[in-house]
Every structure is written in structure tokens, then in C-alpha cells.
Amino acid sequence: MAGSPTAHPRIGVLALQGDFREHIASLTGLGADVVPLRRPEEIASLDGVVVPGGESSVMDKLSRAFGVAEPLAEAIRGGLPTYGTCAGMIMLSSRIAAGIPGQQTLDVLDTTVRRNAFGSQNDSFEIDIPMPELGDAPVHAVFIRAPVVEEHGPGVEVLGALPDGQVVAVQQGNVIASAFHPEVAGEDRFHRRFLDLVHSA
């Protein structure tokens, strides 16, 4: 497991909608230089990017309206380390099940992700999930109107799954995604893993 980052990488958190403030606080606490990302010209100066939780269809529309979606997708395909949570996982995925008509994604993660896989906000839940890749202690995962990975390509590593086998955390190269919210639970190991990617990029 990684130690605290020593440098101060510049991380952008997509700040068009959703819980971007929590990610900014988590990453700032780990020593990163964190900025809200809202305009396409800001992408070039970033060492990594986080796509937060929120409403994926709204985030999709706003990212296109602000002209961020396409250059961000190009940067991620070019190697920009990226972490997406909940709606961010949907945004990064190549395919959506139960998306709204016309909903698009950044198409940078070889997964099929189902929106609202566990039902409404009232069906939110918390669970401890063993994730050996992140250390011996289980990860306390908070699910809020969360998606689930229904299918994934051979290049996608499963980091975590529920007891019934449903995949809820993955990594493919420079892209990490979780269906749950570590930034809400005070769980910093996903952000540390992301920053490790940034430092080794």
C-alpha cells in the first residue's frame, strides 16, 4: 500500500455537478494541488483527473455543453490518470445499461455499467468489502443510487465485488472506477492508489 505522496501533483476534479467538494477535500488532505475542472483549456495543466458522483445524465449534458467531454476523453486515452466514483464510473464506461435516451459517456473504460442498479436513494447501503489489492483491512463502501459493472473486457482488473459477485470496483491501465463513495466514508485508499498512478505516469 502506498505511503503519503511526496510531490504535489495538480489534480482536476470535474466540478460541473455532484460531490466534487468531497473529492477536493480528500485529495487536498493527501497533499495534492487540487483544482475544480470546468473548462477544456484547464485539462492540459493537470497530472490527473477525478470524475465525481452525482447524476450521470446531467454530468454528461453539462460536460458536452461546456466543451469538456471530448478533450477530457482524449487526455484520458492519452494516459491521464483518472478516478471515477458512482456517476463517474458511468461517465468513464464504454457502455451504459438503463441509461436515459441519448446519454453518452467518455468511453475510456471497457465496461458495461448499469445505472441505479440497487434502486432509489432510499435503497442506499453501506458494506465492508475485502479488497486485497488495497490492503488487509476491508474497504468500507457507501453505495448511494449506485451503478454496478455488468460486463468488463479482458484488460479490466476487478478490485472489488459484493458477496453475490457483483463487480463494484475496477481498474484498466490509468483508469480506476468505483461504484461507491470512498470520499463520503473517509476511506482514502482509492485516492492513494489514484495518486500512485499519477506519480508513476
Round to whole Å and give the CA distance between 144 and 34: 24
Cell numbers linked to 163: 458477496
Sequence ranges of the binding site? 54-56, 115, 144-145
- E strands within 41-188? 48-51, 82-85, 93-97, 109-114, 125-129, 139-143, 148-152, 157-161, 167-172, 175-178
Alpha helices in the chain (DSSP H): 20-29, 56-65, 69-77, 87-92, 182-185, 189-200
Q: Among 55, 149, 57, 161, which residue's Cα sits nearest to residue 95?
A: 149
Annotated binding site for L-glutamine, which residues?
A: 54-56, 115, 144-145
Give yes or no: 157 in active site: no
From 86, 152, 187, 191, the catalytic residue: 86
**Annotated catalytic residue within 22, 181, 187, 191:** 181
Compute CA distances 40 → 57, 79, 96, 109, 114, whole Å. 19, 17, 24, 21, 28
* Nine-digit cell string for 12: 482536476
Residue 181 annotated among the catalytic residues of the structure: yes
Q: Which of 22, 23, 152, 183 is catalytic?
A: 183
Catalytic (active-site) positions: 86, 181, 183
